[in-house]
Amino acid sequence: MNEVTNTAQQDEKLIEDEFNALLSDYINSNHRQKIDIIKRAFHFANEAHKGIKRRSGEPYILHPIAVARIVCRDIGLGSTSICAALLHDVVEDTDYTEEDIENLFGKKIAQIVGGLTKISGGIFGDKASAQAENFRKLLLTMSEDIRVILIKIADRLHNMRTLGSMLPSKQYKIAGETLYIYAPLAHRLGLFAIKTELEDLSFKYEHPDSYRDISRKIQESEEDRETVFRHFAAPVASKLKALNIDFEMKARVKSVYSIYNKMQNKGIPFEEVYDLFAVRIIFSPKDYIDEKTDCWKIYSTITDVYKLHPDRIRDWVSRPKANGYQALHVTVMGPDGNWIEVQIRSAKMDDIAERGFAAHWKYKVGETDEESELDKWLKTIKEILENPEPNALDFLDTIKLNLFASEIFVFTPKGDIKTLPKDSTALDFAFSLHTNIGFQAIAAKVNHKLVPLSQPLQSGDQVEILTSRTQTPNHDWLKSVNTAKAKTKLIAYMKRDKKNKIQKGEAALTEFLAQSNIVISPIVLDKIITHFCLKKKEDLFYKIGVEEIAVDDNLKKYLKEKSENVILKYLKMPFGKKDASVPADKIITTPEPAEKINRKETYVLREINGRNNYSLAACCKPIPGDDVLGYINDNETVVVHKRSCPLATKLKSSFGPRIISAKWAEHNENSFAATIYIKGIDTVGVLKQITRVITDNLEVNIRSLHIDTNDGIFEGKIGLFVHDVVEVESLCAQLKQIKEVKIANRISE
């Protein structure tokens, strides 16, 4: 108690000084000067909190003033926000109500104070469900007026700065919450300086020893850094001066928290963190139109002096980050043999980088398109809030992911970082590297695991694209991409490709008809088009071009006989058809109403008028050549099961009379789905060999290919369309001939 020795007079002096500092911050800002209302808000809050002290012994009002200063100076907000900051604890802590505030200061300020009051409780309650509810409230008020969250962040920053006077048990909770929620929020809103300070302060309370340790080492190494910086800066500075560029150059040390993270992630000691500091060059362009050119001029000057690290150029000038960050980053080899990152920014870019989007607004008067990214994000948050996850913790995670959303960072195998929009897939990544890599992609490895190209990527993934020169895109790829670049490239390709296929098909048909001595005429063409249930001749040519329709003897026969019923035979199974997993009791194909079934005789499985007289059981997927039996279902359809199928055994025991003996007809032109299980040793090129074996078997079509690798072993399934068992077995035998393939067997799923 006796430390609190401030007299009332001293307190008043302190309060006045602080408030005057706030006023002078405000007067120096670019905002319209509404000093009166700020003074009124201050006097009102000062009266309301009169006589109340914080745990530190300070008068309470110093806290709202400090928050208002952060709001004004560090975030760049105007009088409405400053007033709301001054009043932010009045409704929570005194007898005044939101209505009182509204009567005295108007609706807007009252609303913001109301929003702040609603979220005044901490996020981290004792129960996860309460956390989620509090967080929901916070985001809801935020999506109503973004200033609520900005002031809340300022409030949190001041509380973190003064956290030392809190009870240790509370310190831990508040620090954790700050790191978990507020720092990411600040980051998402582009408040870089505040984000860094929040992280460092939280870290200080969560890991006091590490914090002390790293801070000490930063201090101890300061002299060395100074020397390195001086050596680096001198030649660059004189060249820039010669170019008549108005600039400031300084060394920026990495934050304690980010050094700690780097040490943890890379498992290295402090001494091995090579990018402890970055050089920042902030210039004032003569004209902001030349801003970008000036960045590159400075870049060019630096790289004239020092050797460039080729993988480390980041151009956020041409394409700013979603939170508005703009700068040109480049890493060069400094004179003392260290890699040094240089950040080139205009004064405006620097302001935006440090103070976030509110500063951004200042420069964007009249233009609205720049805010859309933030608006989009807020809309997403609103949507999530409207359909909350049933599980509270999932909900928290969803939102938290969303804080970083709208862009993700992924790594190339060499460790190069790539920024992609959220929801990007491996295929999008391939296109972001190079259009041809996109076109020739066959699969991807995400974090060393083989995945399909449609695999969605997460921030932090390391992605490698496997390509093949013989690969060509197909129409389904459009479903696997989400970036504008990949989409436009694919659509352009499809258009070109379709044109080619149509030409190819037309040529094939013309040649075929000529060879068959059929005179090509609109009538003949029409006949073929209706025959295949198509609309235009382009469609017909295209289907011939992609070999979905075969021009063969059957077609010739049809054209000569004009028979109507053999259409389906010409239609090969479509390539790349998805293997939808069918419940075990479902059947794959629906037959024509069956012929009369004689249960005493062996039923011959065959085609009648182009339709099968049977259905295939999805559980065991029999194909011609398998030992099978038939089960007559309620629709009087014969469902074919393998004799070895467990379900067939069950059916046999329960529905004995419905089981009939069945066998395959001699010749079968239909394709059947079959799956091969394959396992072996993962080496370079083995996948290519496997695909080659399959594609060399012309009767066989691949419908799906999924291969995983783990610890040098690959394992996977190949889905195929085949005509009978012989084809599958011969394929398995051929696959086994590949040295690395140890197992290749047909399986039921």
Q: Which is nearer to Mn ion, 159 or 613 (CB)?
A: 159
Mask 11-30, x = binds Mn ion (CB under 5 A)? --------------------
Q: How far is the CB of 202 from Mn ion (least distance, A)?
A: 17
Mask 76-105, x = binds Mn ion (CB under 5 A)? -------------x----------------
Q: Which is nearer to Mn ion, 74 or 155 (CB)?
A: 155
Q: Which is nearer to Mn ion, 121 or 576 (CB)?
A: 121
84 contacts 147 by C-beta, under 8 angstroms: yes
Interacting residues of 723 by C-beta distance below 8 A, sequence separation 6+? 623, 624, 668, 669, 670, 671, 672, 699
664 contacts 628 by C-beta, under 8 angstroms: yes
d(CA 153, CA 124): 16
d(CA 688, CA 445): 15
Q: Which alpha helices (H) appear in 314-434, and where do they start and end?
A: 347-355, 357-363, 372-386, 392-403, 426-433
End-to-end CA distance of the chain: 77
Q: Which is nearer to Mn ion, 122 or 388 (CB)?
A: 122
Mask 104-143, x = binds Mn ion (CB under 5 A)? ----------------------------------------
Stretch in the footprint of Mn ion (CB under 5 A) among 6-14, 147-155, 447-455, 503-511: 147-155
Q: How far is the CB of 154 from Mn ion (least distance, A)?
A: 9
Q: How far is the CB of 140 from Mn ion (least distance, A)?
A: 19
Q: How far is the CB of 155 from Mn ion (least distance, A)?
A: 4
Q: Which is nearer to Mn ion, 70 or 240 (CB)?
A: 70
Query: Per residue, what are the HEC states of 182-248?
Result: HHHHHHHCCCHHHHHHHHHHHHHHHCHHHHHHHHHHHHHCHHHHHHHHHHHHHHHHHHHHHCCCCEE
Total residues at the site for Mn ion (CB under 5 A)? 2
Which residues, listed in sequence order, are joined to residue 444 by a DSSP beta bridge? 451, 465
Q: How far is the CB of 68 from Mn ion (least distance, A)?
A: 11
- Which of 331, 377, 348, 430 has its CA nearest to residue 149? 377
* Member of 18, 58, 155, 464 binding Mn ion (CB under 5 A): 155
Let me know how many helices (H) and strands (E) the chain has, helices first: 30, 21
Q: Which of residues 346-375 bind Mn ion (CB under 5 A)?
A: none
Stretch in the footprint of Mn ion (CB under 5 A) among 153-161, 210-218, 323-331, 632-640: 153-161
Is 511 exposed, middle or buried (CB count within 10 Å of its CB: 0-12, 13-18, 19+)?
A: exposed
Q: How far is the CB of 86 from Mn ion (least distance, A)?
A: 11
Q: How far is the CB of 27 from Mn ion (least distance, A)?
A: 24
Hey, what amino acid is at 229? F
Q: Which is nearer to Mn ion, 89 or 607 (CB)?
A: 89
Q: Which is nearer to Mn ion, 124 or 404 (CB)?
A: 124
- Which of 283, 279, 277, 310 has its CA nearest to residue 296? 283
Q: Which of residues 550-609 bind Mn ion (CB under 5 A)?
A: none
Q: How does 358-367 read in b/e, with b if 16+ C-beta sit within 10 Å? A: bbbbbeeeee
Q: How far is the CB of 345 from Mn ion (least distance, A)?
A: 33
Q: In what order do the strands lie in the sheet with 247-253?
A: 247-253, 277-283, 339-346, 328-333, 307-315
Instruction: From residue 473, give the alpha-carbon distance in Å to each of 356, 456, 498, 718.
Output: 42, 18, 12, 20
Catalytic residue among 92, 220, 552, 636: 92
d(CA 126, CA 577): 51
d(CA 319, CA 341): 19
The C-alpha angle 486, 488, 490, rounded to 5 degrees, equals: 65
Stretch in the footprint of Mn ion (CB under 5 A) among 150-158, 379-387, 472-480, 705-713: 150-158
d(CA 378, CA 406): 11
d(CA 737, CA 147): 68
Stretch in the footprint of Mn ion (CB under 5 A) among 151-159, 251-259, 301-309, 741-749: 151-159
Q: Which is nearer to Mn ion, 68 or 426 (CB)?
A: 68
Residue 369 appears among annotated catalytic residues? no
Catalytic residue among 11, 25, 93, 749: 93
Q: How far is the CB of 116 from Mn ion (least distance, A)?
A: 8
Q: How far is the CB of 194 from Mn ion (least distance, A)?
A: 15
Q: How far is the CB of 223 from Mn ion (least distance, A)?
A: 40
DSSP-based three-state secondary structure for 450: strand
Q: How far is the CB of 61 from Mn ion (least distance, A)?
A: 11
Q: Which is nearer to Mn ion, 117 or 131 (CB)?
A: 117
Contact status: 58 vs Mn ion (CB under 5 A): no
Instruction: From residue 576, give the alpha-carbon distance in Å to each of 450, 485, 673, 701.
Output: 19, 24, 12, 8
Mask 391-430, x = binds Mn ion (CB under 5 A)? ----------------------------------------
Q: DSSP 3-state helix, strand, coil percentages of the chain (rounded to 5)? A: 50, 15, 30
Hey, what amino acid is at 611? R
Q: Which is nearer to Mn ion, 155 or 727 (CB)?
A: 155
Q: Which is nearer to Mn ion, 53 or 312 (CB)?
A: 53
Interacting residues of 312 by C-beta distance below 8 A, sequence separation 6+? 329, 330, 331, 339, 341
Q: Which is nearer to Mn ion, 89 or 341 (CB)?
A: 89
- Helix 98-105 × helix 107-118 angle, to 10°: 150
Query: What residue number has its CB nearest to Mn ion?
Result: 155
Interacting residues of 265 by C-beta distance below 8 A, sequence separation 6+? none
646 contacts 607 by C-beta, under 8 angstroms: no
Q: Which is nearer to Mn ion, 89 or 464 (CB)?
A: 89
- Which of 626, 730, 5 has its CA nearest to residue 616? 626
Residue 93 appears among annotated catalytic residues? yes
Instruction: Please give the radius of gyration of the chain, using alpha carbons only, rounded to the nearest integer.
Output: 36
Q: How far is the CB of 56 from Mn ion (least distance, A)?
A: 14
Structure-token pair, residue 94:
């005194």
Q: How does 430-465 read in b/e, with b if 16+ C-beta sit within 10 Å? A: bbbbebebbbbbbbbbbeeebbbbebbbeeebebbb
Q: Which of residues 206-265 bind Mn ion (CB under 5 A)?
A: none
Question: Which residues are tagged catalytic?
Answer: 92-93
Per CB under 5 A, residues contacting Mn ion are 89, 155
